[in-house]
């Protein structure tokens, strides 16, 4: 008879690093919500600091899996789900907390998250096809979702300089019934690059 936590005992070492990645991403979302609730900038900066940590854990899980030769379908799915949280939902939540709260901002940030989800789903489906004889994918189609770390760095600099809310870089545009913060367009560009099929980036 299988015990209640039998699934946890099936995790490899790399999978725990992947879960650490998801933990950091979830923490960043909660930190964003706490900032919106209390207005303490320290919570926002903490959430932003968790994304680089998630990036490090994401890099380590792949290296550990290759070192221990423990690749698995479960590990690949865990990695994608964790990346959606840490590099998709969390950056969007941080951007919203920084002041990108107009109606057009919502659409752009939602588009960004959907692009990240689509990007990861496509990679999971095509990885085996693209892999060579050494079972290694030679390149990424579109930018990898962890590149959203660059967006968080921009937000962190803005937060550090106090450029939040009404002081957000680029100001705000009133387009029809909704507002648009031009800074949110960097999320539109990032999302579009993720779903590109013509852009190929060598995989290290």
Q: Please tell me the predicted confidence (pLDDT) of residue 6.
A: 54
H or E segment and range at residue 165: none
- Where exactly are the structural domains of the chain? 12-202
Global pTM exceeds 0.75? yes
Q: Quick check: 195 and 142 in contact, CB under 8 A?
A: yes
Q: Please tell me the predicted confidence (pLDDT) of residue 171.
A: 94
- Residue-by-residue pLDDT tens, the chain, 204 positions: 455 555 555 666 677 888 999 999 999 999 999 999 999 999 999 999 999 999 999 888 767 766 556 666 666 788 889 999 999 999 999 999 999 999 999 999 999 999 999 998 888 777 666 555 555 666 678 899 999 999 999 999 999 999 999 999 999 999 999 999 999 999 999 999 999 988 887 766
CATH superfamily of 12-202: CDP-alcohol phosphotransferase transmembrane (TM) domain (1.20.120.1760)
Q: Please tell me the predicted confidence (pLDDT) of residue 2.
A: 54
Q: Please tell me the predicted confidence (pLDDT) of residue 125.
A: 78
Closest by CA to 145, choosing from 13, 30, 54, is: 54
Helix, strand, or coil (residue 98): helix
Closest by CA to 63, choosing from 136, 150, 1, 125, is: 136
């Amino acid at each position: 008879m299988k015990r209640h936590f039998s699934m946890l005992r099936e995790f490899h070492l790399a999978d725990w690093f992947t879960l650490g990645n998801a933990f950091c991403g979830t923490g960043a979302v909660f930190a964003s919500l706490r900032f919106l609730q209390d207005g303490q900038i320290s919570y926002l900066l903490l959430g932003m600091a968790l994304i680089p940590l998630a990036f490090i854990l994401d890099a380590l899980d792949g290296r550990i899996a290759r070192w221990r030769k423990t690749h698995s379908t479960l590990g690949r799915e865990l990695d994608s789900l964790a990346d959606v949280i840490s590099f998709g939902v969390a950056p969007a939540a941080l951007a919203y907390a920084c002041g990108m709260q107009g109606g057009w901002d919502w659409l752009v940030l939602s588009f960004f998250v959907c692009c990240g989800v689509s990007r990861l789903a496509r990679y999971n489906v095509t990885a085996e096809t693209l892999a060579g004889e050494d079972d290694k994918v030679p390149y990424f189609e579109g930018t990898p979702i962890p590149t959203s770390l660059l967006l968080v760095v921009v937000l962190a600099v803005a937060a550090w300089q106090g450029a939040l809310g009404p002081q957000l870089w680029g100001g705000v545009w009133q387009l029809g019934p909704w507002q648009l913060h031009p800074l949110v367009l960097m999320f539109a560009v990032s999302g579009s690059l993720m779903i590109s099929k013509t852009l190929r980036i060598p995989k290290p």
